[in-house]
């Protein structure tokens, strides 16, 4: 092999090594996909950080009524720091409304969604996904004034479908999106976690097709995450749409289909 050929081989091997390093960083370090929003949450300090942790601890330990107070104080603290129209302040108001619903105050939740709706439309635009989030939940909780939603356990969002799915090696970046969703969830950014799961779903649909079992699993995860994030109306709609595809792909008697039907029926409940 001549000198020139050896030089190009070395360059080629170097490119391959660099590519592997990049893929490894992307896979194991979701901060490569983090936005300014994620970094802002990581840097949050003082009273706001303490209130965020308090609200999360109370909400996720089954004390939503106590969490309502902490979320109200967190809205005030973040408004002072970032301004009333900051996306994270608006998302915190959505979380406050969702927590009211979890505490059995559906009427208060409906009012909260109604009040934040015009601010979301003005600050983010009518086409932003948070606008229909607030609109559908305002209507959803208006007819469920005293109903307590059946929140799924975080580790059981997919029910028995998880056991039936073999998740083989996926394209680079999918793992990073999954870790980004989990990072946001752990930081208390439930709405941001929903956004990340939606990105992951779009990528999996693009690569695997809408009827693939991994895509169905991702849609289950997303529906459950919506429920946990306070978007009960969005979760009910997602379970409804998913059930039709579950029946078509897996059959009506498959245990995953039956489990999805139970979730759909649970989130349909409570209307008066």
Q: What's this model's pTM, rounded to 2 decimal places?
A: 0.83
| Residue 31 placed within a domain | no
- 53 and 132 both lie in a single domain: yes
- 88 and 173 both lie in a single domain: no
| Residue 16 placed within a domain | no
Q: Residue 244 is part of a domain; what is its CATH number?
A: 1.25.40.10
> Quick one: pLDDT at residue 95?
97
Q: What share of the chain is helix, strand, coil (3-state, %, to 5)?
A: 75, 0, 25
CA distance 182 to 261: 26
Residue 116 burial (CB < 10 Å; 0-12/13-18/19+)?
A: buried
Highest average pLDDT, of 7-11, 73-77, 147-151, 254-258, comes from 73-77
The pLDDT of 166-188, averaged and rounded, is 80
The pLDDT of 93-105, averaged and rounded, is 97
**Residue-level length of the chain:** 272
Count of the separate structural domains present in the chain: 2
Domain that holds residue 69: 38-142
Would you say residue 241 has pLDDT above 70? yes
| Residue 33 placed within a domain | no
- 43 and 71 both lie in a single domain: yes
Q: How far from 4 is each of 7, 8, 9, 11, 17, CA to CA, in Å?
A: 5, 6, 9, 11, 20
Encode pLDDT of 60-72 as tens digits: 999 999 999 999 9
- 131 and 209 both lie in a single domain: no
Return the percentage of the chain with pLDDT > 70, whole number: 82
Last residue of a domain, one of 99, 120, 142: 142
On average, the pLDDT of the chain sits at 85
Confidence label for 35 from pLDDT (cuts 50, 70 and 90): confident
- 233 and 166 both lie in a single domain: yes
Encode pLDDT of 107-152 as tens digits: 999 999 999 999 999 999 999 999 999 999 999 999 999 999 888 7
Could you tell me the two tokens for 20?
Answer: 């592997």
């Amino acid at each position: 092999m001549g000198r020139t050929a050896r030089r190009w081989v070395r360059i080629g091997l170097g490119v391959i090594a660099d590519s592997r390093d990049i893929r490894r960083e992307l896979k194991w370090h979701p901060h490569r996909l983090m936005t300014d929003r994620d970094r802002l949450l990581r840097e949050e300090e003082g009273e706001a950080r303490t209130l965020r942790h308090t609200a999360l601890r109370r909400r996720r330990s089954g004390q939503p009524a106590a969490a309502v107070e902490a979320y109200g104080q967190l809205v005030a603290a973040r408004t002072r720091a970032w301004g009333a129209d900051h996306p994270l302040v608006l998302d915190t108001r959505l979380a406050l409304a969702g927590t009211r619903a979890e505490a059995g105050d559906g009427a208060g939740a409906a009012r909260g969604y109604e009040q934040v709706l015009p601010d979301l439309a003005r600050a983010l635009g009518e086409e932003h996904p948070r606008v229909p989030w607030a609109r559908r939940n305002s209507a959803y909780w208006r007819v469920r004034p005293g109903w307590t939603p059946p929140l799924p356990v975080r580790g059981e969002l997919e029910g028995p479908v998880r056991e039936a799915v073999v998740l083989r090696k996926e394209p680079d970046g999918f793992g990073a999106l999954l870790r980004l969703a989990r990072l946001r969830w752990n930081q208390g950014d439930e709405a941001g976690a929903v956004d990340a799961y939606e990105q992951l779903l779009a990528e999996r649909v693009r690569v695997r097709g809408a009827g693939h079992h991994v895509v169905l699993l991702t849609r289950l995860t997303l529906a459950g995450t919506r429920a946990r994030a306070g978007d009960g109306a969005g979760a009910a709609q997602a379970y409804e749409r998913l059930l039709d595809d579950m029946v078509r792909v897996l059959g009506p008697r498959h245990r995953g289909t039956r489990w999805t039907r139970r979730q759909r029926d649970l989130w349909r409940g409570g209307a008066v």
